Structure 1
């Protein structure tokens, strides 16, 4: 019997940097067990060139990426997600769509490399740091014994991953 393939969606506000990095990392490192996607609540319309440059420098895929809305993953023809991870604090604080299939969710926030100002070297360094934080989280995630963890244990593990080095946390929304 073939192993199950898990669909994973990485969310960010702009879908131009962190979520793109995460999608590429899981595409390569997830082997045959994961199918990676990314989207944003307010897509920028283009992928940040530093994200593509860093992915290429580490020999990760860059083909076919585009900045797209999370609405693409809510319709009847969309793939059903098993996991949805927010990688930026703004997206974590927004009201997300109802995802078909009731996926497991967690917040894996890291600082926004696209927000770094300065020289191109400083900007690229921020993307490298984001890449490394996401790669570490994804390595831990893909090593989890998904079939043997119950829902509560899995949810706990997913949240723990999001609290690893470099973690950011969403600000409480104003009431």
Structure 2
């Protein structure tokens, strides 16, 4: 089994959504971790939009990268520029992949507009995770 970590700034939205999809698509081929360079708690809107797609991330926790310094990662994925540029140390010598997904937590407007922003980012992350897993035969 290979280890994969998904990093973003606060481990609240993008990395949590990615965590759900990587676990869904890779089944038992990957041990999936998600973390941030800070911890902001799991965003309730991320939980909501993932539930709409049949994936439950409500038990996820917001974790700091320092919690995983002893894990050797085969895949290191950053999902925002801030995490890629500011994470002081990412354990492991594995394949590094970066994709700067829009931050839905910064969306403004009505609740429906904000949720649409979450769903848009969610769709991008879902496509990314599925392709990543398929391309590597996981």
TM-score, reference length from structure 2: 0.93
Instruction: Find the counterpart in structure 1 of residue 119 from structure 2.
Output: 128
Aligned pair count? 138
Tell me if 1:86 matches 2:86: no
Instruction: Find the counterpart in structure 1 of residue 55 from structure 2.
Output: 60
C-alpha displacement of 1:63: 4.1
Tell me if 1:12 matches 2:8: yes
- Report the Cα distance in structure 2 between the residues aligned to 1:108 and 1:9, rounded to whole angstroms: 13
Tell me if 1:72 matches 2:64: no
Structure 1 runs, 4 residues or longer, greater than 4 Å off: none
* Secondary structure in 1 matching 2:4: strand
Instruction: Find the counterpart in structure 1 of residue 103 from structure 2.
Output: 112
C-alpha displacement of 1:98: 4.2
- Report the Cα distance in structure 1 between the residues aligned to 2:67 and 2:44, rounded to whole angstroms: 23
- Report the Cα distance in structure 1 between the residues aligned to 2:87 and 2:43, rounded to whole angstroms: 25
Deviations 1:8-49 (A, max 9, x none): 1110011000000000111111122122111000111x1110
What 5-or-longer segments of structure 1 have no aligned partner?
A: 148-175
What 5-or-longer segments of structure 2 have no aligned partner?
A: none
- Report the Cα distance in structure 1 between the residues aligned to 2:78 and 2:48, rounded to whole angstroms: 23
Instruction: Find the counterpart in structure 2 of residue 168 from structure 1.
Output: none
- Report the Cα distance in structure 2 between the residues aligned to 1:107 and 1:72, rounded to whole angstroms: 21
8 Å contact from structure 1 (residues 43, 69) kept in 2: yes
In our comparison, the structure showing a higher alpha carbon Rg is 1
Deviations 1:35-71 (A, max 9, x none): 2111000111x11100000010100121431111010
8 Å contact from structure 2 (residues 6, 76) kept in 1: yes
TM-score, reference length from structure 1: 0.74
- Report the Cα distance in structure 2 between the residues aligned to 1:94 and 1:145, rounded to whole angstroms: 27
Question: What is the aligned-residue RMSD (CA, Å)?
Answer: 1.5
